[in-house]
Amino acid sequence: MNRRYRLTNSSDFQRVRRTGTSHAHPLAILIVSPGDVPETRFGFTAGRSVGNAVQRNRAKRLLREAIRHYQADIRAGWDVVLIARAPLLAAGWLDIQSGIGQLLRKSGLIDG
């Protein structure tokens, strides 16, 4: 994912978590907040409950790839934070894609 579509500052993550609306799925949590730039930006996190550093990095890579699949359909102007949950690592790829799609539809970021 291109760097201009990523949330990089911790202050941006905190703002989205504080002001955003969250939607939960067994594999991930999606928090969405109106952004201050014209394109939609994404941030990915995984807490220690997901596993060690290798497992957390893998979980974030899986989330980034799942979002990349839907990126052309996502509405512009939002800041999105995706938080990985522990079952993500054991899930199959199709389950991950459909779970992220459900979260995006539930939040209104894509039509569905």
Could you tell me the pLDDT band of residue 3, with boundaries at 50, 70 and 90? confident
**Separation of alpha carbons 20 and 28, rounded Å:** 16
Assign 51 to helix, strand or coil. coil
**Separation of alpha carbons 66 and 64, rounded Å:** 5
Give me 37's structure tokens.
């730039």
* Arithmetic mean of pLDDT, 29-37: 93
**Separation of alpha carbons 92 and 99, rounded Å:** 11
Q: Report pLDDT digits (tens) over 59-72.
A: 999 999 999 999 98
By C-alpha distance, which of 69, 60, 72, 74 is closest to 98? Answer: 69
Question: Looking at the whole model, is its pTM more than 0.85?
Answer: yes
Res 2 pLDDT > 80: no
